[in-house]
């Protein structure tokens, strides 16, 4: 599928709002809308809790129990997984919106590497260390993503899922004991079983060779803070773009003290500098824009006034994208 990127806007699924309708209204204001996740409104909206429903061996306290895992495997393979409508405050309403009128729509899920590092057993050991559990985790999140893709594609055929992978930064640090080589081999197999265009979103600074070496269609990252680093990975970046990859540039910071010192014009100029770096690799600005989506730099769910800050960032994002597309 060729995705019509060309400077469209989208944003992170995690939002600081407690009002479902307002969050959904903002999400639907993007060129590429998404369903919001609202962890400040309800603990079950946490992306790990939300995605983890139905995983064998996982308790309500989000602790992995080996005995329970082995006892629940048979029902896991023979039954259906809990649907996203059951665990999300906004997903059902999102599906009822007029999604057909958008050029693209997006879903999201926590990624297997991050979940594998986040979920601990009773000995405080991450489940990513256990080969048998990790294999089920890949299958579990793959099944959930594909079900989401099937539901979204009924509303808009140009849909895609991206995986939130903040844990990749920890994996890259070498502290996990789970090698990048092993992760790349397994993640490649995981993505092979995911329907539709596949994307990864993260806000941190991972091993970019690893990330750009995956078979991705969309890469979303904090370009405000890290864009100058990413454009230096010339060989990997060229391979990604030549293969039709789309970069979701996280241009607009969501922290109010940073945003207050910037304007949409300045943020557009930041993109122009990044595009110029790619021009030196042989890509015209038009070619770069055709393979670009614009987004906030991060989600922002901390601190007083974070709702207002995110709404301001969304407004800046729309203005910044218009400036870039009209330049």
Asked whether 7 and 321 are in contact (CB, 8 A), the reply is: yes
In tens digits, the chain (327 residues) has pLDDT values of 556 678 999 999 999 999 999 999 999 999 999 999 999 999 999 999 999 999 999 999 999 999 999 999 999 999 899 999 999 999 999 999 999 999 999 999 999 999 999 999 999 999 999 999 999 999 999 999 999 999 999 999 999 999 999 988 887 665 566 788 888 899 999 999 999 999 999 988 988 988 998 999 999 999 999 999 999 998 888 889 888 899 999 999 998 889 999 999 999 999 999 999 999 888 899 999 999 999 999 988 877 789 999 999 999 999 999 999 985
The alpha-carbon radius of gyration of the chain (Å, integer) is: 19
Cα–Cα distance for residue pair 227/212, rounded to 1 Å:
14
Domains parsed from the chain with CATH numbers? 8-326 (3.20.20.210)
**Residues sharing a CB contact under 8 Å with residue 36, sequence separation 6 or more, in sequence order:** 13, 14, 15, 17, 20, 23, 24, 26, 27, 90
pTM: 0.93
Report the alpha-carbon distance of residue 183 to residue 179 in Å, rounded. Answer: 6
35 burial class (0-12, 13-18, 19+ CB within 10 angstroms)? buried
């Amino acid at each position: 599928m060729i995705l019509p990127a060309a400077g469209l806007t989208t944003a992170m699924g995690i939002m600081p709002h407690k009002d479902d309708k307002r969050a959904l209204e903002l999400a639907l204001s993007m060129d590429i809308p998404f369903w919001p996740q609202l962890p400040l409104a309800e603990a079950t909206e946490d992306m790990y809790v939300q995605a983890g429903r139905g995983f064998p061996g996982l308790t309500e306290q989000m602790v992995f129990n080996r005995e329970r895992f082995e006892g629940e495997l048979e029902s896991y393979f023979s039954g259906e997984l809990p649907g996203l409508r059951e665990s999300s405050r906004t997903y059902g309403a999102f599906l009822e919106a007029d999604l057909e009128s958008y050029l693209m729509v997006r879903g999201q899920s926590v990624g297997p590497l991050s979940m594998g590092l986040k979920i601990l057993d009773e000995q405080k050991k991450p489940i990513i260390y256990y080969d048998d559990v990790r294999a089920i985790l890949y299958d579990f999140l793959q099944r959930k993503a594909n079900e989401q893709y099937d539901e979204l594609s009924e509303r808009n055929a140009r849909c895609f899922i991206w995986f939130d992978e903040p844990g990749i930064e920890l994996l890259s640090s070498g502290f996990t004991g789970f090698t990048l080589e092993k992760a790349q081999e397994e993640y490649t197999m995981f993505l092979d079983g995911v329907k539709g265009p596949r994307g990864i979103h993260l806000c941190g600074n991972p091993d970019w060779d690893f990330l750009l070496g995956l078979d991705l269609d969309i890469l979303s990252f904090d370009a405000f803070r890290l864009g100058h680093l990413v454009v230096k990975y010339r060989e990997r970046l060229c391979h990604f773009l030549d293969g039709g990859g789309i970069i979701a540039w996280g241009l607009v910071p969501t922290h109010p003290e940073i945003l207050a010192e910037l304007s949409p014009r300045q943020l557009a100029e930041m993109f122009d500098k990044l595009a110029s770096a790619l021009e030196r690799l042989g890509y015209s600005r038009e070619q770069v824009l055709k393979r670009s989506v614009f987004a906030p730099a991060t989600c922002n769910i901390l601190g007083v006034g974070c709702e207002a800050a995110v709404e301001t960032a969304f407004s800046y994002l729309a203005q910044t994208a218009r400036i870039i597309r009209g330049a």
